[in-house]
């Protein structure tokens, strides 16, 4: 008699084979476990490390005001919303957060999703259909790619930040009756470069395309008080759909879409993560409201972030690291890649750095192109100059020892 567990194992043997393949390539990973609060120095797997890996750009994951807001919302409204938004799960505090974000961004309306991923995938998949076209940067986030596939629209991919190529693709489909969506990340998460939002807006105007920007890494980082790349380029009136995340600089969890009242109403009725997945606990909404208040009140956090980012980037380049710019785009934001090339060596570099007290994530194919594996570093406003110098020294020492420098 065959036992159930054996049957299951056999049915999933293709997964085991793929995991073995990852081990062979040296890109298999184990999850590192954070044992205290997210911060510039914290404890992963029992080791105290300088943290260059988190998206906690403004140190808000552990801000006392945000903690307070979460605790008080929990005391007042409990821990869960109890339903999806359209059934019974829309709480007053969800509406307050959406109003807060819309006012902050200077747009008519906003809808919050459970994550930035859900915001992108839910929006792209619901505003287009199979007669339509998506013109998308080759390095756009996975959630845009998945949303595009779910929409069943025809997908045309332009070379990274190549506006002329985007125009060629728009020209190719100009006479087709379907709608066209032109879409870019505001900040690209692997290289830290900024999308050409203003020039793409010109194209969208010229070709009558819907313009959409995913500002996950620009929210709280670029623009006035962290309003994002669209604000940075002065394009608020020209971008139809602005996506942002509440999971990075804002310090909590969630994603949002900003735009016209009709766009948001439509998403209420058609976006599947909104319709079929339970809304945030009230504590998350309260946390985010407190975070936006902080952005308005304490822009100096963003200035500190940029000061740290500039210093760290300059020092990395001065030490001789390949931080992109020759064959890969140059970082223009607090994300700076340290390019190693080979996937296995990159993962080794990341492990050695960890042993030496620096947490910097190794990223290899297929997340980045073959031969462009890197450890990705991210500065925050909360890193002190001593921590940054210590991290630089460790990066240099380990890289020299491994022959990377
Ligand atoms: N877009 C980009 C460019 C991202 O880097 C991410 C996060 N990795 C997301 C969207 C998704 O955001 P979230 O983590 O809130 O789901």
How many CB atoms lie under 10 A from the CB of residue 342? 17
Q: How far is the CA of 53 from the centre of ligand 1 (A)?
A: 14
ipTM above 0.95, yes or no: yes
14 within domain boundaries: no
Please, are residues 244 and 115 in contact by the beta-carbon 8 Å criterion? no
**231 and 85 in one domain?**
yes
User: pLDDT exceeding 90 applies to what percent of the chain?
Assistant: 93
1 within domain boundaries: no
- Cβ within 8 Å of residue 83, ≥6 positions away: 89, 278, 279
How many CB atoms lie under 10 A from the CB of residue 87? 12
Please say if the pLDDT value at position 9 is more than 90: no
Please say if the pLDDT value at position 398 is more than 90: yes
Q: What is the pLDDT of residues 288-308, one digit of tens each?
A: 999 999 999 999 999 999 999
pLDDT of residue 1: 54
Q: Please tell me if the CB atom of residue 287 comes closer than 6 angstroms to any atom of ligand 1.
A: no
Burial class (CB in 10 A: 0-12, 13-18, 19+), 90: middle
Last residue of a domain, one of 269, 297, 325: 297
CATH number for the domain that contains residue 37: 3.90.1150.10
Q: pTM (2 decimals)?
A: 0.96
* Ligand 1 site-directed mutation target among 137, 141, 144, 367, most atoms within 8 Å of CB: 141
Number of domain units in the chain: 2
**196 and 163 in one domain?**
yes
* Ligand 1 site-directed mutation target among 60, 117, 142, 242, most atoms within 8 Å of CB: 117
Residues 14-29, mean pLDDT to the nearest whole number: 90
**363 and 289 in one domain?**
no
Residues 350-377, mean pLDDT to the nearest whole number: 94
Atom of ligand 1 nearest to the CA of 140: 3
Residues 5-29, mean pLDDT to the nearest whole number: 84
Please say if the pLDDT value at position 8 is more than 70: no
**308 and 343 in one domain?**
yes
User: What span, in angstroms and rounded, lies between the C-alpha atoms of 42 and 47?
Assistant: 8
- When pLDDT is cut at 50, 70 and 90, the band that residue 5 belongs to is low
**276 and 366 in one domain?**
no
- Cβ within 8 Å of residue 247, ≥6 positions away: 55, 115, 116, 216, 253, 254, 255
pLDDT of residue 325: 85
Please, are residues 22 and 15 in contact by the beta-carbon 8 Å criterion? no
Domain that holds residue 315: 27-56+299-401
Last residue of a domain, one of 297, 324, 342: 297
Last residue of a domain, one of 247, 271, 297: 297
Q: Please tell me if the CB atom of residue 189 comes closer than 6 angstroms to any atom of ligand 1.
A: yes
pLDDT of residue 27: 80
* Ligand 1 site-directed mutation target among 57, 112, 143, most atoms within 8 Å of CB: 143
Kindly report the protein residue whose alpha carbon is nearest to atom 15 of ligand 1: 116
264 within domain boundaries: yes
**318 and 175 in one domain?**
no
Q: What is the pLDDT of residues 74-83, one digit of tens each?
A: 999 999 999 9
Please say if the pLDDT value at position 3 is more than 70: no
**101 and 38 in one domain?**
no
- When pLDDT is cut at 50, 70 and 90, the band that residue 29 belongs to is confident
Residues 190-215, mean pLDDT to the nearest whole number: 98
**183 and 156 in one domain?**
yes
Query: Which of the residues 189, 247, 279, 350 is marked catalytic?
Result: 189
Residues 316-330, mean pLDDT to the nearest whole number: 90
Q: Is 189 one of the annotated active-site residues of the chain?
A: yes
pLDDT of residue 7: 58
């Amino acid at each position: 008699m065959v036992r159930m567990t054996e049957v299951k194992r056999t049915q999933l043997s293709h997964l085991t084979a793929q995991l073995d393949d990852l081990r062979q390539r040296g890109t298999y990973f184990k999850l590192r476990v954070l044992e205290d609060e997210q911060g510039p120095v914290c404890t992963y797997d029992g080791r105290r490390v300088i943290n260059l890996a988190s998206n906690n750009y403004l140190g808000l994951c552990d801000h006392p005001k945000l903690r307070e807001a979460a605790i008080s919302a929990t005391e007042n409204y409990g821990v869960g919303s109890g339903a999806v938004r359209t059934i019974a799960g829309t709480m007053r505090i969800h509406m307050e957060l959406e109003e807060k974000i819309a006012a902050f961004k200077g747009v008519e309306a906003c809808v919050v999703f459970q994550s930035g991923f859900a915001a992108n995938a839910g929006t792209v998949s619901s505003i287009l259909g199979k007669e339509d076209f998506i013109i998308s940067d080759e390095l756009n986030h996975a959630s845009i790619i998945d949303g595009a596939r779910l929409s069943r629209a025809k997908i045309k991919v332009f070379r990274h930040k190549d506006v002329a190529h985007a125009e060629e693709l728009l020209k190719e489909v100009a006479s087709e009756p379907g709608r066209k969506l032109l879409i870019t990340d505001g900040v690209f998460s692997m290289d830290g470069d900024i999308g050409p939002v203003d020039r793409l807006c010109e194209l969208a105007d010229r070709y009558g395309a819907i313009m959409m920007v995913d500002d996950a890494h620009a929210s709280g980082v670029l623009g006035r008080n962290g309003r994002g790349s669209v604000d940075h380029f002065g394009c608020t009136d020209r971008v139809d759909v602005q996506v942002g995340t509440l999971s990075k600089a804002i310090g909590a969890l969630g994603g949002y879409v900003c735009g016209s009242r009709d766009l948001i109403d439509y998403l209420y009725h058609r976006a599947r993560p909104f319709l079929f997945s339970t809304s945030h606990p009230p504590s998350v909404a309260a946390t985010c409201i407190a975070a936006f208040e902080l952005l308005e009140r304490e822009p100096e956090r963003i200035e500190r972030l940029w000061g740290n980012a500039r210093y760290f980037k300059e020092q990395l380049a001065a030490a001789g690291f390949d931080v992109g710019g020759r064959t890969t785009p140059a970082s223009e934001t607090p994300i700076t890649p340290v390019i190693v090339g080979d996937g296995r060596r990159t993962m080794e570099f990341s492990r050695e750095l960890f042993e030496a007290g620096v947490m910097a994530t190794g990223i290899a194919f297929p997340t980045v192109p073959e031969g462009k594996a890197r450890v990705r570093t991210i500065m925050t406003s909360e890193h002190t100059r001593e921590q940054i110098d210590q991290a630089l020294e460790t990066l240099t020492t380990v890289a020299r020892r491994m022959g990377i420098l």
